[in-house]
Structure 1
Amino acid sequence: MQTMDPIDATPSGGLRSPAVARNTGPILEVLRAHLPARGAVLEIAAGSGEHAVAFASALTGLDWTPSDPSPEARASIAAWAETARLPNLQAPLALDMLDPATWPEGTVQAVVCINMIHISPWAATGGLMALAGRMLAPGGLLALYGPYREAEVPLAPSNAAFDESLKGRNPAWGLRDRDAVAAAAKAEGLALTLRTSMPANNLMLMFRRV
């Protein structure tokens, strides 16, 4: 499971991240305002599964399907889901944005991706946009959360240090330029409609399927 955060195992087998505990509330507030009341949501790179449980619990009209290419992550998601026993939380899927053969068929109303784009090669962002462009219904929402570079906004010292640590761990990782992400989305029929500042120098970027 790709993460830069310290994680601990719980007695149930689920993994717990302090970063998730900090950002779940702010992310949920934005999602609640922009996700539809009902429909299907696909979460990409769901990691430990804590977000999936929190969002499915709070947004009961949505059918929430988490996914992650990591067996360790999927085991953690399944453990949290077993404890929560939510009727609208589906079993985790083994989706890899670098392997279209793993992508599901069908249509969803929203795709949510939290803290993946900077901890993956750039090709994974292209894969995410292609998947969202293919699966989202017209008007459907792609919601991204994480740190980004912006030409018009000075890079926060903490984000600059984070970027260096990412590249030190894997040269293919690093903070992405917001406009480059928007251009990759546009190529797949997705328009950037909202930029929202979040705590700890993160952003929520919202794209709509045109």
Structure 2
Amino acid sequence: MDSAVSTSASAPGALTSPAAERNSAAILQVLRAHLPADGRVLEIAAGSGQHAAAFAAALPGLDWTPSDPSPEARASIDAWRLKSGAANLRSAERVDMLDEATWPDEPVNAIVCINMIHISPWTATEGLMRLARRSLTRPGGLLYLYGPYREVEVPLAPSNAAFDESLKARDPAWGLRDRGEVETLARSHGLALTLRRAMPANNLSLIFRRG
């Protein structure tokens, strides 16, 4: 869970992330254009649950399952689910990229993972790619990633450099990842990068698809 959260006055038991409030509309625009019209979506590291509630309500043809390893996050996700009333939004599941025993067995059409890769050890990204290879069983299965990255061909924004330093001060295993390294890892699991889109506040949307 991101430390920059507060209790929501509009949804008892729910947490509010300012970052989720700011980026939800921009992310939804990308998801609406690239996710299938129907099918199953698994959200990894769903955090407060604001994204899950917003996206499920906006994309009613999708069966949306949010997940998070944190009990506090799962409680917040379910509070947002109850507030949203979206029939296609499932209860939060415990799924941890560092614990393969928690990974679901059912195939899905898409996996969505927002702001996890830089706030977790690299082994979590490795786990995410293994899960994607296992769960995205059909050609064209989609993995969506959002967050800040380092890129060889793009100068690092000062705000992202400061953010990277603050993350590493909190945990040396955290920090902005090199987009090329993430792409190479994905490719080794049968996932090809098909979209790189610049997003507000020096973030990126990355879409990988199963061959």
TM-score if structure 1 supplies the norm length?
A: 0.98
Alignment of 1:27-106 (within 5 A): 27-106=27-106
> Aligned partners of 1:157 and 1:18: how far apart in 2?
21
Q: Cα distance, 1:85 vs. partner?
A: 1.7
SS of aligned partner of 1:206:
strand
Q: Cα distance, 1:7 vs. partner?
A: 1.0
Q: Deviations over 1:169-209 (max 9, x none)?
A: 00000000001001111111100111000000000000001
Seq. identity, %? 68
Amino acid aligned to 2:183? A
Per the alignment, residue 148 of structure 1 pairs with 149
Q: Cα distance, 1:84 vs. partner?
A: 1.4
SS of aligned partner of 1:139:
coil
> Aligned partners of 1:129 and 1:156: how far apart in 2?
27
Q: Paired residues, what number?
A: 208
Amino acid aligned to 2:45? A
> Aligned partners of 2:120 and 2:8: how far apart in 1?
26
Amino acid aligned to 1:111? I
Per the alignment, residue 8 of structure 1 pairs with 6
Q: Deviations over 1:122-168 (max 9, x none)?
A: 00000000001110122110000000000000000000000000000
Q: Cα distance, 1:52 vs. partner?
A: 0.1
Per the alignment, residue 165 of structure 1 pairs with 166
> Aligned partners of 1:146 and 1:19: how far apart in 2?
11
Show structure 1 runs of 5+ residues with no match.
Answer: none
TM-score if structure 2 supplies the norm length?
A: 0.97
Q: CA RMSD in A?
A: 0.7
Q: Deviations over 1:12-69 (max 9, x none)?
A: 1100011111100000000000000000000000000000000000001000000000
Instruction: Give structure 1 regions of 4+ aligned residues with deviation exceeding 6 angstroms.
Output: none
Alignment of 1:116-155 (within 5 A): 116-136=116-136, 137-155=138-156
Show structure 2 runs of 5+ residues with no match.
Answer: none
Amino acid aligned to 1:43? E
Amino acid aligned to 1:115? N
